[in-house]
Structures are given as structure tokens and as C-alpha cells.
Structure 1
């Protein structure tokens, strides 16, 4: 058995040796003790990894290296685009009805729906154009 952590390997060897000396009646206590040590080690490792991840993210944010969300953008961008579309829908509808009647209204709303559909489709992976060899995307 090759252990990555020599300290845990020593602890396991000591636990197995103690079991041999104390007998099977102490087996559950010895296993519980060893598992507590493993759990503390895992908690410490996980805590270090989480802290490192947050520190890297905070550093990247401080440097302004945050990347925009792939696809349709974040919630704010999508919500803002939808709100602007609805606000602009009122005058566009009025212009369409004034100039061409109900046909103008239908054309105006087809345009509004089309623009929103294209904006929403940016989030679909098959819709985005691929730029191979540019080195700018993952």
C-alpha cells in the first residue's frame, strides 16, 4: 500500500498494531479514533483548498480579470434587455399601427420577439460561432 500522506500511514500502522496488542474488543474504538484523525485531515485539506480558491477569485476580481458569463450573459443583462424591449415595444407598436394598421402591429411584434429570441439564443452552445485557433477562449 502506497500512501500519499506518511503521517496517516504511520497512524494506520499504529492503530493496527494497537489492535493486535489490545484485541478485537477495542477494535471499534481504535477505528473510530483513526477515522476522526482522517476526518480532521480531510477537513483541513478541504479548508485550505476552499480558501485558496476564494483568494484566487478575489485576486482575479481585484485585478479586473473577471470574465463575462458565456452565452446570454448574467441575469442582470438578460433582465435589462427584456425590460428595454418591453419599454420600446409600446412606441414601436404605436408607430406600426399608425402607419400600417394591424399588419404593422404584427410586424413590430415579430421584430421584438425575433430580437429577444436571438439574444436568448446566445446562451445555447450550438448557436455561438466557434473561433478555432484564436487562443482567446477556453
Structure 2
């Protein structure tokens, strides 16, 4: 699958840039990689929705678009945790090619995402 190849290239490029730039740029490199990964995932979801024939405007022809989703109780921690674990397995496999630094960069990104989600949940409760 082409997307997997692109992600592997992104991980390799991030690890290479970290080697060239040093640890002081690690946070910025991880953030950049996570943004590219988010874009890739969003594109896959859009492609899957289009492939299944789902078009939001057909279901909600109102000019305002679909109604807002009802607020659920809870903070969605379980889906984030499961998603992180699901991404951790292939990311670790790819990052292992970069050695310990690659694995640390991959897991660092996962940790940053989980911490950001947890802190965001705390802010919304206040």
C-alpha cells in the first residue's frame, strides 16, 4: 500500500533530521511528523467514506450541514489509548530501523498525543 511506504519514508526522514539537527529539535520534529500522520489518516478516512458512497450532504441537505453531534459523557480516553496502541505497533516496527533513537521518537510522539489529549480534557472540564 502506497500510504504505508510514505509513512515509512516520513519516519526515516524524521529520524535522519533528528540525527542531523540534534536533540534540541526533537519536539519540533515529532510535532511535524504527527501533523503529517494526522493528514494521512484524515485522507484515508475521506477516501473510505467516498468509496462507501457516503456523502454528508445527501444525509443532511441543510445549508448548515449536519447537526452537531450530541455531547457524550466521558472524555474519550479509551479510544485514544486504544488508537495509540494500535499505531504503536507498526510505528515501533518502522522506527526500529532507526535504532533506539527511532523508537524513542515514535513513542515520544505517542506520549505527546496522549498527554495533549489528557490536558485538553482537563481544560474542558473547568
State the TM-score, normalizing by the size of structure 1: 0.37
Relative contact order (alpha carbons < 8 A, sep ≥ 6): 1 or 2 greater?
2
Max Rg structure: 1
